[in-house]
Amino acid sequence: MGMTPRLSSETLIDLFAAANASPDAEICGLLLAGEGEMMSRPTNNVAADPTRFFEIDPVALIAAHRAVREGGQAIIGHYHSHPSGDPDPSRADAADAVPDGSLWLIVTRARARLWRAVPHGGVHGRFDAVAFDCITGNRLESGVRTVSLARNNDPLRAESWSLTFDD
């Protein structure tokens, strides 16, 4: 994507809900180029130890690549969760990342951040933070670095979020 990446509140709600439903294992999936915004496609985590690592199901990955060849949505990256951590890349993430410019969306049960895998990145020598646009209804928030869920009666409603922006 040549422009600023864009995520909808609906996509983020789905990912927060999946992360909350899997408190002991990492969730994962693909990020696809949608019409004006990124879309998520969940996959199985086939890692030997899904409590600490993720590995996208190769069957789902191959199917997504086939779909791209047939005119489907481009794969622009992937997402995964850190069940008991923060939304920053781990050393294991850096060791596994190919510095190809792909996007990595990391979510916890309450926060999300977007990263790009690059050579000589600022985090673990592999990742740079990426500001993105967040669409909530008809509202567009630009330059978002972190999306944080506010704690209230219904933390999965987009209206309850607090958003952290670039300075």
Is the pLDDT at 156 greater than 80, yes or no? no
Residue 60's pLDDT is 98
Number of domains in the chain: 1
Q: Is 1 within the bounds of a domain?
A: no
Residue span of the structural domain in which 33 resides: 6-165
Average pLDDT over residues 111-131: 97
Residue 93's pLDDT is 97
| CB-CB contact of 81 with 19 (8 Å) | yes
Q: Is 146 within the bounds of a domain?
A: yes
Is the pLDDT at 150 greater than 90, yes or no? no
| CB-CB contact of 40 with 15 (8 Å) | yes
* 39: CATH: 3.40.140.10
Average pLDDT, the chain: 90
pTM of the full structure = 0.91
Rounded CA-CA distance 134/141 in Å is 5
Rounded CA-CA distance 46/112 in Å is 22
Q: Is 124 within the bounds of a domain?
A: yes
Average pLDDT over residues 74-86: 95
Is the pLDDT at 17 greater than 90, yes or no? no
